[in-house]
Amino acid sequence: SEHQHVRYNPLRDDWVLVSAHRVKRPWQGQLEKPPPEDVPRWDPKNPLCPGATRANGEVNPKYEGTFVFPNDFPALQPDAPEPDDSDHPLFQAAPARGVCKVMCFHPWSDLTLPLMSLPEIRAVIDAWAELASELGASYPWVQIFENKGAMMGCSNPHPHCQVWASSFLPNEARLEDRTQRQHLSQHGVPMLLEYAEQEARRKERLVVENADWLVVVPYWATWPYQTLLLPRRHVRRLQDLSDSEKDSLASIMQRLLIKYDNLFEVSFPYSMGWHGAPTGPYLEEDCMHWQLHAHYYPPLLRSATVRKFMVGYEMLAQVQRDLTPEQAAERLRSLPEVHYK
């Protein structure tokens, strides 16, 4: 906890430099603005609100639960043309097609997931599973992700996420596919199933747990209060969860996100996303090496205004963190599960 060392991340096949003493250094760098506390519950100028007009002129229905619609500015489109053939191996291009959707969690802009009720969170999980199944019927990868807070690039103050389905496996998916496949081949057990069992027994990086799930600050975490959400049984995809597992997932998500908000008494920014076995043509293949999991990557380090920057050494050498995962887990674990508001 006092001396620098490196830790191996078997999921990404890379290393992180842990320099716990650096968190004590004085900070005169950039200070972030805390998120606004006065977000209106409904704003006709907010394109995600019920009844609001979006950039393409479409008017949202006056929805009362979750609401899914095509992204008006998609990064992927289903009918993109083939790129030109390359005349040299150093200049390669490949087709990239897909669809991008936006999913609103709730009609109220002043709510976030930790402030929603368990039935409302469960409705979000159901919608995630439906989209994963629907888009996964034809696309190899369906990436569900939430950017929470302006600090993480969220462009509209409204509880929502995005879902991008692609005709290819993105870099992180290909990497996790390789490492998990190798682990199962070498050790005879899915990597993250074994890892969850180890963390449940050791408890030093455990944040919250219930009968079906556990949340840990992973041994190899890079972001200060990064967490990994894992099922206790072997589950390959979000759509494979039982009703009771979805209920307990809603509960553990709420508990984690309340702790996040309570850490600095602010609506805690993060980027999160689900990783599971590939879909589309991979539905017919053996994907037993895969274990469903969700990553949470929050940037805040010391307070609501001081963030961790991935620059310099992190960009040019390898990722580095300023407190140990054990210290981060202990702090999160000790926080109350009643929201500070």
Options 106, 158, 160, 289, the catalytic residue:
160
- The verdict on whether residue 275 carries a ligand-binding annotation is yes
- The verdict on whether residue 295 carries a ligand-binding annotation is yes
- The verdict on whether residue 187 carries a ligand-binding annotation is no
* CA–centroid distance for 270 within its chain: 8
160 is catalytic: yes
Residue 309 identity: F
In eight-state DSSP terms, residue 60 is: P
CB contact at 8 A, 313 and 320: yes
- The verdict on whether residue 176 carries a ligand-binding annotation is yes
Task: Locate 165 and state its tokens.
Answer: 């389905």
Sign of CA dihedral 83, 87, 93, 95: positive
- The verdict on whether residue 308 carries a ligand-binding annotation is yes
Write phi, then psi, for 192 (nearest 5 degrees). Answer: -75, -20
- The verdict on whether residue 339 carries a ligand-binding annotation is no
- The verdict on whether residue 72 carries a ligand-binding annotation is yes
Burial of 229 (0-12, 13-18, 19+ CB in 10 A): buried
- The verdict on whether residue 210 carries a ligand-binding annotation is no
Query: CA 149 to CA 102: how far, in whole Å?
Result: 16
- The verdict on whether residue 209 carries a ligand-binding annotation is no
- The verdict on whether residue 109 carries a ligand-binding annotation is no
- The verdict on whether residue 24 carries a ligand-binding annotation is yes
Query: CA 158 to CA 43: how far, in whole Å?
Result: 10
Query: CA 68 to CA 47: how far, in whole Å?
Result: 13
- The verdict on whether residue 153 carries a ligand-binding annotation is yes
- The verdict on whether residue 147 carries a ligand-binding annotation is yes
- The verdict on whether residue 23 carries a ligand-binding annotation is yes
Query: CA 135 to CA 254: how far, in whole Å?
Result: 26
Tokens 């969220």 — which residue?
A: 154
CB contact at 8 A, 212 and 323: no
Query: CA 64 to CA 280: how far, in whole Å?
Result: 32
Query: CA 108 to CA 119: how far, in whole Å?
Result: 15
- The verdict on whether residue 273 carries a ligand-binding annotation is no
Query: CA 323 to CA 123: how far, in whole Å?
Result: 36
Annotated binding-site ranges for UDP-alpha-D-glucose: 22-25, 55, 71-72, 147, 153-155, 162, 308-309, 313-314, 320
Annotated binding-site ranges for Fe cation: 176, 275, 293, 295
Annotated binding-site ranges: 22-25, 55, 71-72, 147, 153-155, 162, 176, 275, 293, 295, 308-309, 313-314, 320
Which residues are known catalytic residues? 160
